[in-house]
């Protein structure tokens, strides 16, 4: 007769480690789904911003089109739920995560580096301002009606062609070269494109997300000297009560998972009590929105 032994209960540290692992797997699954289901959502949304400026610059009456529909849909979703699209559904962002993870394996396992190559924090904070300048330049060129003559320089257009399995890049060689350079940056800095070069990310960062839609923390409950949230944040952000720089938050929720005091919350996390349920709920709403916007491959 075999004697069955009861498994010892998990320690708090083991429970935390298990929770982090499950969160990573869930996020990877959601990112993979949206990468194949809605790879063109980013390009469609930003094309809406360019279309709006082109119509305003020409003086013609504003005409509702599919690109504007995508822009309005993504912006409304971001206002209500924060930059969940950036953290879980943007194909360009997911590509960056995959390239950065692969680079980490190569540097640590194959090259035996103890520490990954990265950029200084000060350079990161200054670099995050570049995307706003890039957004202003692109919108100005669109308003003046001359952006289309520079369309061959667009790396996100090249990425859109590749995800659509269109490999003829006639006239888009400069954009292809820029995409390759961005991939190199992605290998050495987490969310390289999102932090420094994404014009749609700049639009999202400027949107007024109400307090109930933001992750927030209570500084009085934080451990003294703890910087776990910032040290694990892809965009080098430490959430502050006054909301300063919180527009940079891409809602990947790595900070919430790593916090030793579970001190980062949002209304849906507090209400539903299950992190996986909040992710599935927002992903489901975003997918339904993608169907409405006409950017979903499945419909």
78 and 251 Cβ atoms separated by less than 8 Å: no
The answer to whether residue 298 is domain-embedded is no
- H or E segment at 105? helix 91-105
Instruction: From 223, 249, 214, 246, select the one nearest 235 (Cα to Cα).
Output: 249
Of residues 39 and 169, more confidence is placed in: 39
Q: Please state, in angstroms and rounded to a whole number, the distance separating the CA atoms of residues 159 and 178.
A: 11
Q: What pLDDT, on the 0 to 100 scale, is given for residue 218?
A: 77
Packing angle of the helix pair 199-206, 66-81 (nearest 10 deg) = 50
Cβ partners under 8 Å of residue 273, min gap 6:
none
Cβ partners under 8 Å of residue 166, min gap 6:
none
Helix H segments across 107-220? 121-127, 130-143, 155-163, 173-188, 192-196, 199-206
Domains identified in the chain, total number: 1
Average of per-residue pLDDT across 152-159: 88
pLDDT band of residue 175 (cuts 50, 70, 90) is very high
Q: In this structure, is the dihedral angle defined by the CA atoms of residues 265, 267, 268 and 272, taken in order, positive or negative? A: positive
The answer to whether residue 26 is domain-embedded is yes
Check pLDDT > 70 for residue 197. yes
Q: What pLDDT, on the 0 to 100 scale, is given for residue 4?
A: 55
The answer to whether residue 8 is domain-embedded is no
* CA within 13 Å, CB half, 108: 11
The answer to whether residue 61 is domain-embedded is yes
Candidate from 142-151, 166-175, 192-201 with smallest mean pLDDT: 166-175
34 and 91 Cβ atoms separated by less than 8 Å: yes
Q: Please state, in angstroms and rounded to a whole number, the distance separating the CA atoms of residues 49 and 63.
A: 13
Digit-coded pLDDT (tens) for 243-268: 546 788 898 888 887 888 777 777 77
The answer to whether residue 299 is domain-embedded is no
- Using alpha carbons only, give the angle 284, 75, 23 rounded to the nearest 5 degrees: 40
Digit-coded pLDDT (tens) for 282-299: 999 999 999 999 999 877
Q: Please state, in angstroms and rounded to a whole number, the distance separating the CA atoms of residues 123 and 296.
A: 37
DSSP 217: E
The answer to whether residue 124 is domain-embedded is yes
Q: What pLDDT, on the 0 to 100 scale, is given for residue 56?
A: 92
Phi, psi (rounded to 5 degrees) for 216: -145, 160
Average of per-residue pLDDT across 94-120: 85
Cβ partners under 8 Å of residue 17, min gap 6:
none
Digit-coded pLDDT (tens) for 101-110: 999 999 888 8
Digit-coded pLDDT (tens) for 59-79: 888 889 999 999 999 999 999
Domain coverage including residue 129: 14-293
Name the pTM for this structure: 0.88
The answer to whether residue 238 is domain-embedded is yes
Q: What pLDDT, on the 0 to 100 scale, is given for residue 34?
A: 96
Q: What pLDDT, on the 0 to 100 scale, is given for residue 239?
A: 67
Check pLDDT > 80 for residue 166. no
Q: What pLDDT, on the 0 to 100 scale, is given for residue 8?
A: 66
Q: What pLDDT, on the 0 to 100 scale, is given for residue 240?
A: 65
Residue 7 CB coordination number (10 Å): 6
Digit-coded pLDDT (tens) for 10-24: 676 677 778 778 888
50 and 138 Cβ atoms separated by less than 8 Å: yes
Q: Helix, strand, coil proportions of the chain in percent (round to 5)? A: 65, 0, 35
The answer to whether residue 2 is domain-embedded is no
Q: Please state, in angstroms and rounded to a whole number, the distance separating the CA atoms of residues 105 and 113.
A: 10
pLDDT band of residue 274 (cuts 50, 70, 90) is confident
């Amino acid at each position: 007769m075999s004697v069955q032994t009861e498994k010892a209960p998990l320690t708090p540290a083991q429970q935390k480690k298990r929770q982090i692992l499950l969160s990573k797997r869930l996020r990877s699954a959601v990112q993979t789904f949206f990468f194949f289901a809605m790879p063109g959502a980013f390009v469609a949304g930003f094309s809406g911003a360019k279309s709006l400026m082109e119509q305003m610059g020409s003086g013609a009456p504003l005409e509702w089109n599919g690109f504007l529909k995508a822009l309005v849909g993504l912006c409304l979703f971001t206002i209500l739920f924060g930059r969940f699209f950036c953290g879980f559904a943007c194909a360009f962002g997911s590509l960056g995560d995959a390239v950065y993870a692969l680079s980490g394996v190569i540097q640590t396992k194959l090259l035996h580096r103890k520490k990954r190559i990265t950029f200084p924090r000060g350079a990161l904070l200054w670099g995050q301002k570049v995307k706003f300048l890039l957004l202003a330049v692109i919108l100005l060129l669109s308003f003046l009606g001359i952006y289309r003559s520079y369309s061959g320089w667009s790396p996100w257009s090249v990425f859109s062609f590749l995800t659509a399995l269109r490999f003829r890049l006639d006239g888009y060689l400069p954009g292809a070269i820029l995409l390759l350079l961005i991939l190199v940056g992605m290998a050495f800095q987490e969310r390289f494109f999102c932090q420094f070069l994404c014009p749609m990310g700049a639009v999202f960062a400027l949107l007024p997300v109400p307090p109930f839609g933001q992750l927030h923390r209570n500084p009085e409950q934080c451990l003294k000297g703890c910087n776990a949230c910032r040290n694990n944040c892809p965009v080098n952000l430490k959430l502050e009560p006054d909301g300063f720089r919180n527009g940079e938050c891409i809602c990947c929720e790595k900070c919430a998972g790593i916090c030793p005091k579970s001190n980062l919350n949002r209304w849906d996390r507090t209400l539903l009590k299950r992190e996986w349920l909040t992710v599935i709920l927002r992903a489901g709403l975003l997918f339904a929105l993608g169907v409405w916007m006409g950017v979903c491959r499945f419909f």
